[in-house]
Each structure stands twice: as structure tokens, then as C-alpha cells.
Amino acid sequence: MDNSTANTNVSRVARINPNMVAPQMSPTSTENQNKTAEVQKPQTVKSPYERSGVDATVSGKRNDESSITGGAYQPVLITEVCDLPSKGLLYSSLGPTLELRAMTTIEERMRLSGENFWSTMTAILNRCKVGTDYDMSNLTDFDFFAALVKLRIISYGNNYKTQAKCLKCGKEQIINVNLDEVRCSTLEDDFVEPFEIGPLPMSGDVLTCRFLRLYDHISISNEVNSWLKKHPNDTMNNPEYTLTMEKMLVTVNGIKLNDMQKRHYVENMIGADSTMFHDKIDNMFYGIHRLGTCKCEEKDCGATVLYQIAPSDSFFRATPLNN
Ligand SMILES: [Zn+2]
């Protein structure tokens, strides 16, 4: 199985802003008629990237003009379709693609003021999804990251700048990544969840597991935060590691466990069983390949430099030219 050559350069469909209708003002006087004529004048709207001299190719579908509808300014609407790495196979009512609109200042404000990365970005995705009521907190983390990359491309352009250090010569370098060309692995068409892990080497147990969802990450980060408040000096027992395993575990030897039983089982797994669990999970990689490599830019070095695509603060920023 090699699905790793698919990329995120997905089909793009133009979408008409549903609010782009003629102004609703009723021309009761000549003055009003003149005003109406004025606002109806076609406006040439430069993309924010053209205006700011930013190298950002926004190739998605968009209406070409902003408009004024019923007195309210209607900005240019850019939407694109994101191919989900899961192909939608894991969801009750979501197809293989997700249409998203660009983030606006309101979502940027949410992002900057949000305290929990997972819940904030879930709320933003729920605002930016187009044409579906499906709750984005049900997305797996790998579909979530693909959606974030798409949101970044349509909101800030596809040029992502990141930093990396050559481990051979120590040279710090700036790497420009075209987010439209990052590699992405997709789920096999016959993939079924929950999936099986085992028999485990020590206990012989056979587990069934599922992928983490955004609601799991939100729950885990809330639990970890409240634990950290209660145990500010305990550096040994942070529950994040086992919470993650608990959330993924569905059955043991065909028996469905409740939350308490899962916790007990996970915390008491023998080392080799736990290692096999993690190895299997790590090998089931789907979605966008976050790690990339390039040649060191230092003359005569020639080493391979590893860089990472991470949804940090600088991820949701346009990349200026000449940098
Ligand atoms: Zn080097």
C-alpha cells in the first residue's frame, strides 16, 4: 500500500457568495437612486496579498468583487475543497471532502485569544466549514491537520516559511514550503474502525482501537490542565500519555470496557505490550507528512536538513516576499 504520493493540491470549485445580490435599497428619491448607482459600480478588489506585497498564491475559487448588500459590506469569499485523508470513511455524514472558506479577522481574533489550541481551532473550523452541519470535533487529528493546512492556504497563501538547523554544520536556515505540494497519505478504501492490535507479546490480549478525535484532544487537554493545577510540582505522573491510550482503546479480547476499566488496563499493561501498542499506532500514519527534508544551504556541507510543518502561531501568517 503506497498512498503517500497523493498530495493536497485538491480540486477547487468556485463558489458564488450567496450574499452577492443587488443592493436592496428602495430608490425613493433621485438622491437615493444616485447612491444606489454608486454602490453598484463594479469594484476591482485586489487580494490582500497583492495589496501587501505578499507572495501568496490564492488559487481557490472566489467571487471577484466585494459588494454592499442591504447596507452591509460583503467581503470577497474564498472557498476551497479539502480532500480528507480519511476519505470520510470514519464519519457518519461527511463525504470525502470538506469545503472551507478563508478565515477572517473574527476567526483570527478567536485564534489569538483562545486558551486551548484544540477547542479554539475546532470552533474556527466549525465557523469556516461550508455546506455541512457536521460537527468538526468528530474529525480525526489527521483530517484536522489537513483541514488546518487548507485553511492556512486559503487564508494566508500556500507559502509557509519555517526554520531548521543543520545537525552537521549547525547552520540555521529558512525553508520555504509550498503547502499545496506537501505529501499526504490517505486511508485504504476498505479500512474499518475500530482496528485490531495484537495478540500482544506478553499477555496475548487482542485489542481493538480507534483514532483520536478532536473531542478526545479537547478532553485530554482539559484533564491534563486541571491535573497540572492540582499537582504543580509533580513531574513524574502527568496523565497525558495514558489518557491518550485510554481514549484509543475500545475492546480487550472482544469485551467493551468502560472508562475506569480502560484506565486500569492501560496503566497496568506490561512494558512490551505497551511498546507494541505504540509501535502499531505509530505505523498507522495517515494525513499530511509534517516532516520534510532539504539540502543544507551551506556550501560544501551537503547534509540533509529536517524541518517540520507545525500549526504554531507563525503558521497562520502570510509570508512576506524577500524573506
Ligand atoms: Zn549543513
For residues 293 and 286, give the distance between their C-alpha atoms in angstroms, rounded to a whole number: 19
CA of residue 178 to ligand 1 center, whole Å: 22
Secondary structure E strands in 141-241: 159-165, 172-178, 184-185, 195-197, 207-209
Position 25 scores a pLDDT of 36
Position 69 scores a pLDDT of 64
Q: Please, which residues have CB within 8 angstroms of residue 2's CB and are 6 or more apart in sequence?
A: none
Position 9 scores a pLDDT of 39
CA of residue 300 to ligand 1 center, whole Å: 8
CA of residue 303 to ligand 1 center, whole Å: 5
For residues 164 and 133, give the distance between their C-alpha atoms in angstroms, rounded to a whole number: 39
CA of residue 200 to ligand 1 center, whole Å: 42
CA of residue 174 to ligand 1 center, whole Å: 13
pTM for this predicted structure? 0.76
Q: Please choose, from the candidates 83, 290, 311, the residue with its C-alpha nearest in 3D space to the C-alpha of residue 186.
A: 83
CA of residue 165 to ligand 1 center, whole Å: 8
- Residue type at 63 in one-letter notation: N
CA of residue 177 to ligand 1 center, whole Å: 19
Helix orientation angle between 105-113 and 117-128, rounded to the nearest 10 degrees: 170
How many other C-beta atoms are found inside a 10 Å radius of the C-beta of residue 306? 13
CA of residue 169 to ligand 1 center, whole Å: 4
- Average pLDDT, 10 consecutive residues per value, the chain (323 residues): 42 38 37 41 41 42 62 77 96 95 93 90 96 96 95 92 92 92 94 95 97 96 94 89 95 96 96 96 91 91 91 70 43
**Torsions phi, psi for 61 (to 5 deg):** -80, 140
Identify how many contiguous H helices and E strands the chain contains and give both numbers: 9, 16
CA of residue 318 to ligand 1 center, whole Å: 27
CA of residue 299 to ligand 1 center, whole Å: 8
CA of residue 317 to ligand 1 center, whole Å: 27
Q: 173 and 159 in contact (C-beta within 8 Å)?
A: no
